[in-house]
Structure 1
Amino acid sequence: MVDADEFAKIKSEFAGKKIVFTNGCFDILHAGHVDLLSRAREQGDLLVLGLNSDKSVRSIKGEKRPVTRQQQRAFVLAGLACIDYVIFFDEDTPFNLISKVQPDVLVKGGDWSVDNIVGRDIVEERGGEVLSLPLLPGYSTTGVIKYIRDNDIE
């Protein structure tokens, strides 16, 4: 794990490599997440994951979230072979982080249309590519939480 400024300093080490960026909360990691992250990584030479901080998740999802704290989420995600760097961000969107990372490819899940992907303008101005990859059907953090609640699982 690095912060955005640290990544900006080491980015020159990756000259000639295609940097892929994606982001999300990844509150309860499930197969749909791993599938999307693996396919994102296939789009280039290294994958940088922008991870919503706890503050950011609460702002977006409500006071009861995240279920899993940021350091734990980052630890699990950093353990995936497809992820090269995890960087936290506190804002509701990763716009500032994308500005610092300057990826060649920006990836989001298919629930986002390319036109609505935050940072699209930054990537496209540099000649990069913005992709909305299809999601693995039947997987969502909201669905996992609903299943736990509906079945009184503790």
Structure 2
Amino acid sequence: MPAVPDHPKIVALPRLLQLLSPRRDAKTVVFTNGCFDLLHAGHADFLARAKALGDILVVGLNADESVRRLKGPARPVTPLDQRAFVLACLASTDYITAFTQDTPLDLITAIQPDILVKGGDWSPDTIVGKDVVLARGGSVQSLPLLPGISTTAVIARILTGAAAPDPT
């Protein structure tokens, strides 16, 4: 299988912290995280709206072993390097960094974002890292998701051979 090309938006945490450091005084850093397996319109919409909240959007991306622990042994469908590359090709993302833990708490603590955002399936009081962000005067937001669009639904349609639902 051919390797996915490198992309300058895909960075390890130490490099990410270097890149963010000189911009902290003048820029609002937004952070979100997820598996982003089988990227779909719901993901793209969510990331565009997250980016609109600030100047720099950092996406914490669950590594393959983390996805397996969270979603089961058949996931991810798309390996980490490919998921990161597709995310990096979106105009809304500024940096993508992977993490192996089940939650992004260590990333959030290191990055200290100004705004922490998750999808509407997370209530603000359950968002991991909220205490870290709120303690430094930041904000935590839960953005509504596009209804009926999810990776789980896409996988189910593929497995059953069903067509995409008619949007009308």
Query: What is the TM-score normalised by the length of structure 2?
Result: 0.89
Measured in 1, the distance between the counterparts of 2:105 and 2:17 equals 15
- Any gaps of 5 or more consecutive residues in structure 1? none
Larger Rg: 2
* Cα deviation 1:42-100 (Å, max 9, x = unaligned): 00001000000001101101111000000000000000000000000000000001111
Name the residue aligned to 2:88: 78
Q: Is the deviation greater in 96-105 or in 6-15?
A: 6-15
Q: CA deviation at 1:138?
A: 1.2
Instruction: Give the one of 117, 126, 150 matched to 1:140.
Output: 150
Name the residue aligned to 2:73: 63
Q: CA deviation at 1:10?
A: 2.4
The one-letter amino acid paired with 2:154 is V
RMSD: 1.1
Name the residue aligned to 1:7: 16
Instruction: Give the one of 69, 88, 93 matched to 2:103.
Output: 93
* Cα deviation 1:85-141 (Å, max 9, x = unaligned): 000000000000111111000000000000000000000000001000000111000
* Cα deviation 1:4-62 (Å, max 9, x = unaligned): 12212222221310000000000010000000000000000010000000011011011
Name the residue aligned to 1:112: 122
Instruction: Give the one of 21, 24, 29 matched to 1:19.
Output: 29
Q: CA deviation at 1:152?
A: 7.5
Measured in 2, the distance between the counterparts of 1:45 and 1:114 equals 21
Measured in 1, the distance between the counterparts of 2:130 and 2:148 equals 27
Q: CA deviation at 1:151?
A: 1.0
- Any gaps of 5 or more consecutive residues in structure 2? 1-9, 164-168
Alignment coverage as a number of residue pairs: 153
Measured in 2, the distance between the counterparts of 1:86 and 1:102 equals 15
Asked whether the equivalents of residues 5 and 100 of structure 1 are also in contact (C-alpha less than 8 Å), the reply is: no
**SS of match in other structure, 1:88:** strand
Share of identical aligned residues, percent?
Answer: 58
Measured in 2, the distance between the counterparts of 1:151 and 1:109 equals 28
Asked whether the equivalents of residues 2 and 86 of structure 1 are also in contact (C-alpha less than 8 Å), the reply is: yes
Name the residue aligned to 1:33: 43
Measured in 2, the distance between the counterparts of 1:9 and 1:45 equals 17
